[in-house]
Amino acid sequence: MRESRDRIYQVVRKIPRGKVATYGQIATLAGLKGHARQVGYALHDLPAGSALPWHRVINAQGRVSPRAEPSYVGIQHRLLEAEGVEIGRGDRISFKRFGWKPRK
């Protein structure tokens, strides 16, 4: 559904620079609680060249979700590092430091 997708985009756009959020969080904030997968769907449908910070959206394990194209994972890592997000060993990100805390 495009409406849900728009809502997801709206939330993703709110992620501050240098922070990351999980799909579950995005889904909840978008009012689609429990539809974490739809978030991934929406992002997959996201056209390349979009100004949406999709790279700030990761899974609950603190890692970049493996995509069809492995190359994009590296790109995402680079984008995150460029924003000040440190990626530890095993491509892990500390939510303790870089987790986005949205206000209810």
Contact footprint for DNA (CB under 7 A): 1, 4, 22-24, 34-41, 43-44, 46, 54-55, 57, 59-61, 65-68, 72, 76, 90
Q: Which of residues 4 and 18 has its CB atom nearest to DNA in the complex?
A: 4
Distance CA(92)–CA(4), nearest Å, equals 29
Q: How far apart (Å, rounded) are the C-alpha atoms in residues 91 and 87?
A: 6
- Least separation in angstroms between residue 51's CB and DNA is 13
CB of 38 to DNA, least distance (A): 5
Nearer to DNA, 17 or 45 (CB): 45
| Shortest distance in whole angstroms from residue 88 CB to DNA | 9
Q: Which is nearer to DNA, 5 or 18 (CB)?
A: 5
Q: For residue 13, what are the CA distances in angstroms to 29, 38, 43, 52, 88?
A: 12, 16, 12, 6, 25
User: What number of helices (H) and strands (E) belong to the chain?
Assistant: 5, 4
